[in-house]
Structure 1
Amino acid sequence: MQHQWKKAFAIIFSGQIFSILTTSMVQFSIIWHLTETTGSASVLMIAGLAGFLPQAILGPFIGVWLDRWNRKKTMIIADSAIAFFSLVLGLYFFFGEPSLAFVYLILMIRSIASAFHAPAFQAAIPLLAPEEQLTRVAGWQQMVFSFSNVIGPALGIAVYSATSLGTVLFLDVAGALIANIMLLFVSIHQPKTETLQTPSFLNEFKLGWDAFIKVKPIVLITMATAVFGIVFMPLATLFPFMTLSYFGRGGYSASIVEAVFGIGMIIGGVMLSVLASKWKDITYMSLSLALIGLTCVVSGLLSKEAFVLFVILSFFMGSAAPFFNGPYMAMIQRAFEPAMLGRVISLVTSVMLLSSPIGLLLAGPIVNRYGVQVWFFWSGVVIILTGIFIFFRFKRMRVEL
């Protein structure tokens, strides 16, 4: 049994490396293309909204279908849809320059498909791994994600510079195909759903909502995560803008920052998988927020000649990230029955994603008026305060999650 679940994850993650790698290449290349061709933070914010908002709005409702459908088939179909629209956009770039409106539209459609894929994958994990290993698996998942994001920006900018954005998008199609083929070799047993006299979308949605609000610690940490998302998620879009507009560097420097951040995430993921049972999950999460916040504050105070120090801070910021993301998802996976996880994970994912557009809407005008470094500084202050809040709040509640 021990060997079987590890073998299953080895197969799944080996395929996901290619899919996440090519997705990382596409995301970075699109952001850099928009940065290079428009030089507008507002355009970047709109692109971010197009990528986040559909997933955030649809997420809570999609969870009902996720708990009804076969999770492996859902992942395959969703990933195939993402790949198809990468192909469409790639063909458009291959034959000419699409309008910004068309790029936004494709990003929105990809976001809808992602709303099915990501929660289906997270909800499938407890069906494969023992409960006591969920935090360790989260560490593995962070390593796979981080490894792909180390190579992705560098490869993305290299392929983009040597050929075109269309070529990068074509590679995304190949990555999804490999991930789907590997999934075919894994058996994921569908959990038994609750029995209802009359199947009803609204009743099933209400069951998921009721299950979520009953676990008060998860509600609290989700609210804190939303605050974190508002101030931190815009930074994912603003990193290249910081490199270009503040430090005056080019695309390769921007890819170095992304790569160093990813290397930090790999090391953080390794550490999390090794130290998974040493401390409580909430301790890891609080320390993670404290370190991320501190690096953001210092980044906002750097001079324009301190690009090397910014790269170093990006490493520590990346190394802290898995200690928040991994334990948080493991807490959720342990707290709810597998038959309910699709709805709960979709709901909390939507809360986090919905906080991102709010942050993007705030960040665009502020960055355009006061500079990108101002957003780095004040986001760091808020993140540190959030980490302090959840640590002492959970200590007072004395919960075991």
Structure 2
Amino acid sequence: MQSAIVLGGGMVGVGAALHLRRRGWSVTLVDRKEPGRETSYGNAGMIQAEAVRPYPMPRDFATLLKIATGRTNDVRYSLASLHRHVEPLLRYWWHSAPKRHREAIAAWARLIAYATPEHDILIREAHADNLIRRAGYRLLHRDPVAFDLAIKTAEENQRDFGVKFRVLSGGELAKAEPLLRDDLPGAIHWLEPWTVSDPGALVAAYAELFLRLGGTILRGDAETLQQTAAGWSVNTDEGRIDAAAVVVTLGPWSPDLLYKFGYRIPLVRKRGYHMHYSGGSSLDLPLVDTARGYAMGPMAKGIRITTGAELTGPDAPATPIQLASAEASARELLDLGSRVEPEPWFGTRPCTPDMLPVLGPAPRHRGLWMNFGHGHQGFTLGPATGRLLAEMMNGEAPSIDPAPYRPDRF
């Protein structure tokens, strides 16, 4: 029986572990925490079937100036830690040029096509349908000009990729969300995404399925990873374990581990915050407030607000300025109620400069595999990239061409 250690218990790691186990591999999932307690816990809770275009870096001077001068809530940066981000940001800017972005879109959209189908299989087998709503989400607009432009983009996505949407006028939005302010231009209702009332619980449900299929989950320290004569080893709470293969699915921590094996993989690390609110108005579906750079949606704990990107140091203390701004903007739209937690949650999204995940075998180490760097879509794409990785590791013909995601492109 072929054996593998999967390092990292987020959606990407659990997805990879499940697909390997389905193929008869002996699989041990190793994390320092329970599955689904890091970045996969804190996202906006959407499986985004419509997200066919990865997020490019703005290239026009006006937008860059707004970011540099702190006049947008989408992106915030710490000047003291900016030196950590300069090189990957420059690469990100280069890859965001129109021609290169079109190439990224082509590779990205092929993965997105598998997002909801692969989740659907796991949701049913994990008996997790109670966490899922298949009704899409709404992209709210405050400015009529920006709204018209967004409609044109949505029409392009429908024409090129078949994604489905509906345009809601201000009056239609007010009927759909009667507790929302009623003087807004309108919204785009993306119809095909699914929303999750508790993202961490969905990952945990998939992890329970993995255990039922015969997988093993252990607490351990990925930093103890070593190559051995027969493969790879790592230390866990139950002692050292060995396997022929190891998969690195550690999200933003992946490059640090791989560095000691001679791999230098750039990441733009985007910190994001969330907070829950209860006791106020309710929402029917999640809303993304495009003008103010945040999302909010109904969750098990109340309405969750999720912020944009903060560029800061990995150990920097929380600076929830974006959350405070998002909360103020949300209170302009509806009665949020009171904060549920005393402090905001925060985590880091791992974004590669070319906007594509790192997926495939390490070029210089037999049995070392990588699957990370999904940007804002690890929760969406974990089962899809897990399938592709397992196909490659198992010697099967891959469902899509994996070349655009290969680790040696860096």
Question: Which bin holds the TM-score, normalised by the shorter protein?
Answer: under 0.3
Normalised to the residue count of structure 1, the TM-score between the two structures is: 0.24
Normalised to the residue count of structure 2, the TM-score between the two structures is: 0.23
Structure showing the higher helix proportion among its residues: 1
